[in-house]
Structure 1
Amino acid sequence: MFGHVPEPYHLWDIDHHGANQKNGGICFSNRLRCFLKGVAQLPDLYKCHAAEEFIGWGQVRLGPIQWTTGPLPDNPDDINGLIATPNLPVSKELLVCMPQLMVISAYGVGYDYIDIEAASELGILVTHTPGAVVQATAELGLGLILASIRHIVKQDRAIRHTALQPGSAEFPPPVLSHDASSRIIGLIGYGRIGRRLGSLLHALNIPFVYHRRSGPLDNHRGYRSLPSLLNEADIVVLVTPLTAETYHLIDAEALTQMKATAVLINIGRGACVDEKALIQALMSKQIGGAALDVYENEPQIPPELIGMDNVILSPHAGTQTWETRLSMTEDAVGNVVAALEGHPRNTINSQSWGRRPG
């Protein structure tokens, strides 16, 4: 089939674990076939731009496309493909200045920093990388759940404080927690990440219920209406994208429906929670605590949250693993290449795609 993969196109994702020997040769993954096909077929005409040189960038950058990275050039009118991040938001004003733009890939699963309506009006395809982020984000969610139940961060703070006291020779007084299996986890949002987190909880014998806007899933027990979930769960985990329907989904009213001992965890999008209402609920002890990986006005974090010892703060780290970022880079570049080949994938607005190659 293929002999040697030229060095610039040598990807780490050959059947996800390197070369797979089959019939005495190398069996390449479908993903790599797509890239090699792109190398062979894409004309040396397309100009594409990425917000930065992402992890693994040198391994997936394709020669037939002229890639630039970093801040957008002063005149982006000849760019055909774009990889965007929250640090390179895509507004209608920007899109109007890019008459040759055919495809955008969000670097990640979220795309609320891209004006989808404007892109659709202009016939520009928008894609994202939903598959790449699932495992790492679910793992972080599980970590925050366990840290909240077992007071791991609070215990860390306590032992550091005690150890710094002159003459200290004892551990701080014990703070009893609960077995995780005795708690009920409520997952709000039950897409790929929510279901993966559910499978991790199931493997640890931790019971959970879930809510999704479109109702229960076949063969997935435990569906609850949102009010029922908020009333029942000891740990409420938001795993939702940011849309018009999910903006401030957890507001002051929703917080009143939670248990006084409940903890709110957000690994979805910051603006899905009314941050001011959350701060008030925490200060008044209306709920027991929070663990947040995302914030309403990132990267700003309200000082009230920083000063609370019943709040765990994480710097939007859901996808911050080497493996996940490598996959995100591959998928984002692959989205652009696939669209320019005329075979779009991971699309958000395919029905509005008017600016097509050729």
Structure 2
Amino acid sequence: MDKIGVWFTCPMSNYLQDEVAKRFKLIKSWEIASKTAFINHHSKSIRAIVGNGAYGADSTLIESLPYLEIISSHSSGLDQIDLVKCKERGIRVTSTPDTLTDEVADLAITLILATVRRICACDQHVRNGLWKQQDFKLTTKGSGKHVGIIGLGRIGSAIAKRIHAFGCPVSYYSRTEKLNSGYKCHPNVIELATNCEILVVACSLTESTYHIINREVIDALGPNGYLINIGRGAHVDEPELVSALVEGRLGGAGLDVFEHEPEVPDQLIGLDNVVLSPHVGTCTMETRKAMADLVVANLVAHFSNEPLLTPVV
């Protein structure tokens, strides 16, 4: 297998790179001065791509690799991979879904509690010596709040299970109704937002979910409502979110993802009712190792003519 070239779209963990290098020819695309010239010269050996949620494989890259057989994504999100082109070419695609479910769900709960109780602002209140001058202002409780979840897949279901333990009624909106979930399904996002106090975005990014959180949804959530996004930044119309927070039309937001990462609107940074996190939903040592192991296992399975562990296409 050492002659099989694996194209890495961006730097990833040293562990993942080392594990791939033990079995294949690791190609670090970011170290190549002329990618076009390199691909033209080595295209026959490049038979696999490893990407992630930010740097996947678009149609241009896929078309430039005529011998490409598999894309093993270090992510559960597939919005950065041209799946249509992969199906046309018969290119296999794998992801790392179950390895990160618990970690992302944990972060969602953390963001909910940190946002409604304004934990980051409390931290600054203490650090800046303001506690000696005055008590911190009252916040609102998290327990018992009605939580709406957009997307009741693996991650959405894990969030629902966790937040239910806080005595929070749960409802959801999804492409298909989950008949055995035990949670109320709403026919659209507007109705879901109208009937909840905390709205969590946990769906995949597709054409239909791009800017699924728009002005109408934000206004339905209202000045006492909170938005939590652990999906993708493009799920939210960011300028509309910023204006709603600045104008007080939305109570607060907990955000792990942004529309133009790593750029974050300056206005969000100055708001104490917003908790900002640098897309770290899967960023623990345990989860990243599990994800890396699954990426490698899928590559090994494919080139050993064995069934893929987590096939998407």
Between the aligned partners of 2:216 and 2:17, the Cα distance in structure 1 is 49
1:177 and 2:139 aligned:
yes
CA-CA distance at 1:55 after TM superposition: 5.0
Distance 1:46 1:135 in 2: 33
Q: Distance in 2 between matches of 1:247 and 1:182?
A: 30
1:223 to partner: Cα distance: 2.3
* Residue of structure 2 aligned with 1:214, choices 176, 193, 196: 176
Separation in structure 1 between the aligned mates of residue 146 and residue 76 of structure 2, nearest angstrom: 27
Counterparts in 2 of 1:57 and 1:115: CA distance versus 1, 3 Å: same
Distance 1:293 1:58, change over 3 A: closer
CA separation of 1:53/1:156 partners in 2, compared to 1, >3 Å: closer, same or farther? closer
1:263, 1:204 → 2: CA distance? 16
- 2:308 corresponds in structure 1 to 344
1:264 corresponding residue in structure 2: 227
The alpha-carbon deviation at position 254 of structure 1 amounts to: 1.3
Would you say how many aligned residue pairs link Structure 1 and Structure 2? Answer: 302
Match of 1:354 in 2: none
Matching residue of 1:186? 148
SS in 2 for 1:187: strand
Which of 290, 295, 302 aligns to 2:258? It is 295
Is the 2:118–2:272 contact (alpha carbons within 8 Å) kept by the matching residues of 1? no
Give the unaligned 5+ runs of structure 1: 1-42, 164-168, 350-358
Residue number among 33, 44, 48 corresponding to 1:81 in the alignment: 48
Is residue 47 of structure 1 aligned with residue 14 of structure 2?
no
Task: Give 1:210 deviation, angstroms.
Answer: 1.8
The match for 2:79 among 112, 121, 131 is: 112
* Segments ≥4 residues shifted beyond 6 Å: none
Alignment of 1:162 with 2:129, yes or no, is yes
Pick the aligned partner of 1:103 from 41, 47, 70: 70
The alpha-carbon distance between structure 1 residues 143 and 340, as it changes in their structure 2 partners (threshold 3 A), is same
Shift of the alpha carbon at 1:310? 1.6
Q: Which amino acid aligns with 1:300?
A: E
Per-residue deviation, residues 181-229 of structure 1 (Å, max 9, x unmatched): 2311111111101111111112333332222121233142232332232
* Conserved? CA contact 1:108–1:328, under 8 Å: yes
If you compute each CA radius of gyration, which structure gives the higher value, 1 or 2? 1
Q: Calculate the aligned-residue CA RMSD, in Å.
A: 2.1
CA distance in 1, matches of 2:283, 2:141: 28
Could you tell me how far 1:272 is from its partner in structure 2? 0.6
Letter paired with 2:311: T
- Report which stretch shifted further, 47-56 or 124-133: 47-56
In the TM superposition, residue 256 of structure 1 has moved relative to its aligned partner by: 1.6
Q: 8 Å contact 1:266–1:294 — kept in the other structure?
A: yes
User: One-letter code of the match for 2:25?
Assistant: Q
Give the Cα–Cα distance (whole angstroms) in 1 for the partners of residues 89 and 116 of structure 2. Answer: 48
TM-score by length of 2: 0.89
* Residues 1:142 and 2:109 aligned together: yes
- One-letter code aligned to 2:153: G
Q: Write out per-residue CA displacement over residues 135-179 of structure 1, whole angstroms, 9 at most, x where no aligned residue.
A: 11001000001111212112112222335xxxxx72632322333
Q: TM-score, normalised by structure 1?
A: 0.78
Which residue is 1:126 aligned to?
Answer: 93
1:69, distance to aligned residue in structure 2 (A): 3.7
C-alpha distance in 1 between matches for 2:117 and 2:23: 52
CA contact (8 A) 1:259 1:287 kept: yes
CA 52–302 in structure 1, closer or farther in 2 if over 3 Å, else same = same
Q: Distance in 1 between matches of 2:247 and 2:72?
A: 42
The change in CA–CA distance for 1:291 and 1:95 in structure 2 (over 3 A counts) is: same
Counterpart in the other structure of 2:213 = 250
CA contact (8 A) 1:231 1:257 kept: yes
For the 8 Å contact 2:144–2:167, the answer to whether it is kept is no
What's the counterpart of residue 7 of structure 1?
none
Structure 1 residues 234 and 46, CA gap change in structure 2 (3 angstroms):
same
1:323-338 paired onto structure 2 within 5 Å: 323-338=286-301
User: Residues 232 and 258 of structure 2 are in contact (CA less than 8 Å); yes or no, is this contact kept in structure 1?
Assistant: yes
Provide closer, same or farther for how the CA distance between residues 102 and 258 of structure 1 changes in structure 2, counting only shifts above 3 A. same
Q: Deviations over 1:223-270 (max 9, x none)?
A: 233223201211111001110110010111111211321111100011
How far apart are the structure 2 equivalents of 1:89 and 1:142? Answer: 28
The AA in structure 2 aligned to 1:68 is: I
CA distance in structure 1 between the partners assigned to 2:255 and 2:52 by the alignment = 20
Q: Which amino acid aligns with 1:261?
A: N
Identify which range, 172-181 or 292-301, moves more after superposition: 172-181
Answer 1 or 2: which has greater helix percent.
2
Q: Give distance in 1, aligned partners of 2:53 and 2:269.
A: 23
Looking at structure 1, the residues matched to 99 and 85 of structure 2 have their Cα atoms a distance apart, in angstroms, of 26
In the TM superposition, residue 63 of structure 1 has moved relative to its aligned partner by: 4.1
Deviation per CA, 1:303-325, whole angstroms, max 9, x where unpaired? Answer: 12122222111000100100010
Of the structure 1 ranges 197-206 and 135-144, higher mean CA displacement relative to structure 2 is found in: 197-206
1:197 pairs, out of 138, 159, 174, with 159
- Measure how far apart 1:58 and its partner are: 6.8
